A and B are shown apart, each in its own frame.
Chain A
Amino acid sequence: MPKHETPMLDQLESGPWPSFVSDIKQEAESRAKNERNIEYQIPQDVCEDILGVLELSYKHKRTHWKHGGIVGVFGYGGGVIGRYCDQPEMFPGVAHFHTLRVNQPGGKFYTTEYLRQLCDLWEFRGSGITNMHGSTGDIVFLGTTTPQLEEIFYEMTHKLNQDLGGSGSNLRTPSDCVGEARCEFACYDTQALCYDLTMTYQDELHRPAFPYKFKFKFDGCPNCCVASIARADMSFIGTWRDDIRIDQEAVQAYIGGELAPNAGAHKGRDWGKFDIQKEVIDLCPTQCMWMEGKELKIDNKECNRCMHCINVMPRALRIGNDRGLSILVGAKAPILDGAQMGSMLVPFIKAEAPYDEIKEIIEKIWDWWMEEGKNRERLGELMKRQGFQKLLEVTELKPDPRMVQEPRSNPYIFWKEEEVEGGWDRDINEFRKYHQR
């Protein structure tokens, strides 16, 4: 007999997908049985109360959480998000229900042993409910009480060698794709850069002094597995500046059917014989591919590195050898002004330790945004308000045609008086010689 009746939540379990309701019920049951004799440090029935308060919220069609607070661990201004229930008598198990963000390991690689340690800690000192991974990428621990915060922080930093992540007006936990560890498309070592910047910017991660949140994300190639281009204030996307490497024999093997397109990813149904014209060449967004007899040709200077052809024929086409990354800035979700994708700021930069050039750009952007950004204004909004040209000025970068997404919709770059020979003054008589009034 459950502690609270939850007919509406039960109904959610009936759909075809895995249900978070079932997960919470499972954890509730495991806590009730406590087969491992854990000395739970927060109420044993916390999970039942989560279900109870959620059911009540569905019934009332309003939240019963109070978000935010002063709770945290000493010296850190992020990583803990206070949450309280506004019906603590009815649901004492979730009277405090704070969230902890845990900095995920690079590429989200962990051993099962490490995961077990994290989960054991969280069962002991928290609700046992996690979110792998939050939209920033972190491991998210959902629900504990104030006295447990310092204890968890101590255990994590001293025994698990792991830090809290970012929240609030901080640098958020930087997040990266698996990159070179597993992926042949990686144009730079995403994990190395992510780790380096995480360590370099510890103060920005833990002590909030930004106008609002700021996210770094690292994608090894334009496939953008961590969706940096859509979500990060600064996205680092791998690219190359020489030519796509073509193995003509392998191209023929795809055409002949010996190699499965997309590495066999869509073979669940019969799509007919592979047609290179229809499935690759005609779908190239810049139309820079063609067949010349049995040879596949690419006009590389037109290629915009969309990755389509490489994804379809990975054995035949490979990323170039002169690799680095592009930096795009200003992406964000739609709270104000609608969603925004990143804008190209640095078309190509080498990604080599100690990454000084990259850091220089980051810090110039921060200096500008920290001074000029309004409270709760994301970088992308400041870029819109003051203009892309201003961003180029503060980063001391030269305008480049590759920054123009499409003619007439990008912010124009205007000449300034000091950049024009003779300035704005002109000899009116000379002018009138050619132009009537």
Chain B
Amino acid sequence: MDYEEAKEKIISTLSKKKGKTKFYFNDLAKILEAKPRDAKKIVNRLVQEEVLEFWSSGSTSMYGLKGAGKQAAAEEGD
């Protein structure tokens, strides 16, 4: 899968999930149907391009579409 295709797939799949805005890295790898190392390259680039953003609890990290979700609204609002 080339990068643009992967990007489309991530955006469309994640925006369809109702009520869920944070995803584990594994969820993204599954959507991309890629091995973790290959998926990581794509996901890193998506973060660089600000399509995705990190969310961290301190112990665990998750990914979300940039600006999506309650947390983003609350944090931006501060």
* Residues of A that sit less than 8 Å from B by CB: 67-72, 75-78, 80-82, 84, 95-96, 99, 146, 167-170, 203, 207-213, 367, 370-371, 374-376
Contacts and interface: CB of A to CB of B under 8 A. Distances in A.
Contact of B60 (A69, A169, A370): A169
B56 A75 contact: no
Contact of A70 (B35, B44, B48, B72): B72
Contacts of B57: 67-68, 81, 168
Contact of A169 (B25, B35, B71): B25
Contact of A168 (B35, B60, B64): B60
A109 to B, nearest CB: 27
A95 B74 CA distance: 12
A146 B78 contact: yes
B54 to A, nearest CB: 4
Contact of A371 (B35, B53, B54, B58): B35
Interface in B23-78: 24-26, 35-37, 39-40, 43-44, 47-48, 53-61, 64, 71-72, 74-75, 78
Please list the 4 inter-chain residue pairs (A to B) with the smallest Cβ-Cβ separation, ordered nearest first.
A168-B61, A208-B61, A68-B57, A370-B36
A75 B71 CA distance: 19
A67 B54 CA distance: 14
Contacts of B53: 70
User: Of residues B37, B56, B57, which shows the largest number of chain A Cβ atoms within 10 Å of its Cβ?
Assistant: B56
Contacts of B71: 68-70
A95 B20 CA distance: 26
Contacts of A212: 59-60
A69 B75 contact: yes
A229 B60 CA distance: 22
A68 B43 contact: no
Given A146-B78, A371-B35, A209 B40 contact: yes
Given A75-B47, A211-B25, 12 more contacts: A68-B56, A69-B55, A72-B54, A77-B54, A78-B61, A167-B59, A168-B54, A207-B44, A207-B47, A208-B56, A209-B39, A375-B26
Contacts of A146: 75, 78
Given A209-B43, A375-B24, A72 B37 contact: no
Contacts of B55: 68-70
23 contacts: A69-B56, A70-B53, A70-B56, A71-B75, A75-B48, A77-B47, A77-B56, A78-B56, A84-B74, A96-B78, A169-B60, A169-B61, A170-B61, A203-B40, A207-B47, A208-B54, A209-B36, A209-B39, A211-B26, A212-B59, A213-B60, A370-B36, A375-B26
B36 A371 contact: yes
B68 to A, nearest CB: 10
A81 B58 contact: yes
Contacts of A169: 25, 60-61
A168 B25 CA distance: 12
Contacts of A209: 25, 36, 39-40, 43
A170 B39 CA distance: 15
A203 to B, nearest CB: 8
Most buried by B among A69, A80, A84: A69
A84 B75 CA distance: 9
A265 to B, nearest CB: 37
A208 B64 CA distance: 13
B28 to A, nearest CB: 9
Contacts of A371: 35-36
Contacts of B60: 168-169, 212-213, 375-376
B29 to A, nearest CB: 8
Given A69-B71, A70-B71, A71-B75, A77 B61 contact: yes
Contacts of A76: 54
A77 B25 CA distance: 12
Nearest to B43: A209
A303 to B, nearest CB: 39
A376 B75 CA distance: 25
A340 B39 CA distance: 31
A82 B75 contact: yes
Contact of B58 (A167, A211, A375): A167
